[in-house]
């Protein structure tokens, strides 16, 4: 495995990873979910210095980690408007419902964060162990910047148990009824960890 700065040319690989993961829940029924996944990842890409990818022995990207400082600002309102320009009313409604959830969880997280903190805005991996390696490298980079706390959002469709098992403190848990089914509840989890 090699860890290197994220190459934006790999955005479609990442969008495919995210689309596969969220298509069943958050982006369920959205016709242009791949394109929406791409826009979500681009909107979470704040600082190129805090964006890392892990590649396998063939040089193919297998994981991505993006982090942001608490006071970084994004352009979500504008990209959502741009994305929705040519969508029909049904698609607009579904996209706005999904984006409303993502933006609300972002607000909750920012309210929980203290000043000397950073957020892992995105962490995804095809291969076991790659996300952990990226996370550890980014935590070192954040420590070098004077960051004391890192914050993470995950959900019940991901490997959320990792955080419970590796010394992270769960600071928020919420059942999201919109993405739940009678047999499969969908939870949003937020964690933090002191890294200094």
The per-residue pLDDT for 76 is 65
pTM above 0.75, yes or no: yes
What is the arithmetic mean of pLDDT over 51-75? 88
Quick: pLDDT tens for 99-153. 888 888 888 988 999 888 999 888 888 888 898 899 899 999 999 999 999 999 8
Has residue 62 got a pLDDT over 80?
yes
DSSP symbols for 174-192: EE-GGG--SSS--EEEEEE
Residue of higher predicted confidence among 169 and 35: 169
Output the CA–CA distances (angstroms, integers) from residue 65 to 84, 100, 149, 157, 191, in the order listed.
27, 23, 17, 18, 16
Has residue 14 got a pLDDT over 80?
yes
Angle at 179 between CA 71 and CA 30, to 5 degrees: 85
Percent of the chain at pLDDT > 70 equals 98
Cα Rg of the chain (Å, integer): 16
Has residue 13 got a pLDDT over 70?
yes
Has residue 73 got a pLDDT over 80?
no
* 117 contacts 152 by C-beta, under 8 angstroms: no
CA atoms within 13 A on the CB side of 135: 22
The per-residue pLDDT for 75 is 65
Phi-psi region of 29 (alpha: psi -120 to 50; beta: other; left: phi over 0): left
Q: Which residues make beta-bridge pairs with 174?
A: 188
Domain boundary assignment for the chain:
2-146
Quick: pLDDT tens for 81-98. 877 888 888 888 887 887
Fold of 2-146: Aminopeptidase (3.40.630)
The per-residue pLDDT for 44 is 79
State the alpha helices, DSSP H only, in 44-179. Answer: 76-84, 89-112, 130-144, 161-165
Percent of the chain at pLDDT > 90 equals 31
Place of tokens 């400082």: 69
User: In a 3-state reduction of DSSP, which class is residue 77?
Assistant: helix
């Amino acid at each position: 495995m090699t860890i290197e700065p994220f190459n934006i040319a790999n955005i479609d690989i990442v969008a495919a990873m995210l689309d596969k993961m969220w298509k069943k829940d958050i982006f369920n029924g959205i016709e242009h979910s791949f394109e929406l996944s791409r826009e979500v990842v681009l909107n979470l890409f704040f600082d190129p210095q805090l964006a890392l990818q892990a590649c396998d022995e063939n040089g193919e990207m297998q994981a991505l980690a993006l982090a942001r400082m608490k006071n970084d600002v994004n352009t979500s309102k504008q990209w959502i408007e741009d994305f929705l320009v040519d969508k029909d009313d049904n698609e607009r409604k579904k996209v706005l419902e999904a984006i409303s959830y993502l933006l609300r969880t972002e607000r909750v997280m920012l309210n929980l964060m203290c000043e000397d903190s950073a957020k892992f805005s995105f962490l995804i991996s095809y291969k076991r162990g790659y996300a952990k390696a990226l996370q550890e490298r980014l935590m070192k980079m954040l420590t070098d910047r004077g960051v004391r706390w890192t914050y993470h959002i995950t959900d019940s469709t991901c490997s959320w148990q990792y955080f419970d098992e590796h010394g992270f403190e769960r600071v928020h848990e919420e059942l999201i009824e919109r993405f739940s089914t009678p047999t499969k509840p969908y939870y949003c989890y937020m964690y933090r960890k002191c890294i200094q």
